[in-house]
Amino acid sequence: MAQAASKTCEICVSSPGHNYCEQCDQLFCDGCKISHLRTKMTKNHTFLSGPNINPEVKLYCKEHDENFIYYCLECSTPVCKMCAIKKHKSHDFAEIKESTEGIKAEVKMLIDMKMRNLQSKIKNIDQGSTKYQLDVQKVIQAIKEEGRHLKEMIDTKIEGLIHTLKEKDTGNVQTLQFVGNELKTALDKAKEQQKFYQGTQGIKDTTKLLQKLKQIKSQIDQIQEIQIPIMPSVKYDRQKVAEGEIEKLFGELTFGETVKKEENPKPQKNARFVFIIDI
């Protein structure tokens, strides 16, 4: 059987063997390949070419030109009856068909197990991703609801402050209006007495003038001047709220971390890699 690892032409045994004849089971260099295809008996042979050719495994021992009939359990390789006597003496053997069937069953079981494990993990990833997306939506909704609640509290506080201000404003305005009206009434009375006083300017009779002036003075004395109250005032002192204090009004986000897969995972110890011959 031609070995791809030799990479040497099996005809001239000197040039690189990059061409594998599928009918002859041999490696050819480019020159020997051309000569081979020019030969009448081999002109229709087919080749596999390239530096990484992988010749098909034949079902016979090339060294002894014998069919493989045994499988060496210690060397994990098929052998013919001559190999069994010369190279694998005292080794444990099994019939190649029986061994191959056993390995086939083992490989099938490993493939099925691997596929089940991978499918289970993919299912877990899909379910986890779906659940995570639902959790994200729930958290967003919770944040919005908390924000709305805080806004409602702020709006209620604002309405309360404005209501208190308006109530106080109404009382103060009514008081100022009352005082203003009383002062206006007193001013009207004073103006009236002012007219009477001006009317006395033409009186020549001293006795009569004195009588009028006494009357005016008496009326002026009866006009009461209401004391002006302390003028109301109002201001609003802003609260200095630090960013950290605002943060205290909200909850916190908590993330469950995902486990990253190793980029170059180490192979498991005692792992067995079995190469089989399909018969």
Contact predicate 70/93, CB 8 Å: yes
Tokens standing for residue 127: 């379910």
At 37-62, the pLDDT tens digits run 998 888 888 888 876 666 655 556 77
Domains of the chain plus CATH, in order, are 1-58 (4.10.640.40)
The per-residue pLDDT for 57 is 52
Strands (E), the chain: 19-21, 26-28, 47-49, 60-61, 66-67, 70-72, 77-79, 93-95
The per-residue pLDDT for 259 is 55
The per-residue pLDDT for 218 is 93
The rounded distance, in Å, linking the Cα atoms of 11 and 49 is: 16
How far from each other are the two terminal CA atoms of the chain, in whole angstroms? 17
Residue ranges of the chain with per-residue pLDDT less than 70: 1-6, 51-60, 99-100, 257-279
Contact predicate 60/66, CB 8 Å: yes
Per-residue b or e along 48-70, where b marks 16 or more CB atoms closer than 10 Å to that residue's CB: beeeebebeeeeebeeeeeebbb
At 208-223, the pLDDT tens digits run 989 989 999 999 999 9
The rounded distance, in Å, linking the Cα atoms of 219 and 214 is: 9
The CA dihedral of 93, 98, 103, 105, to the nearest 10 degrees, is -150
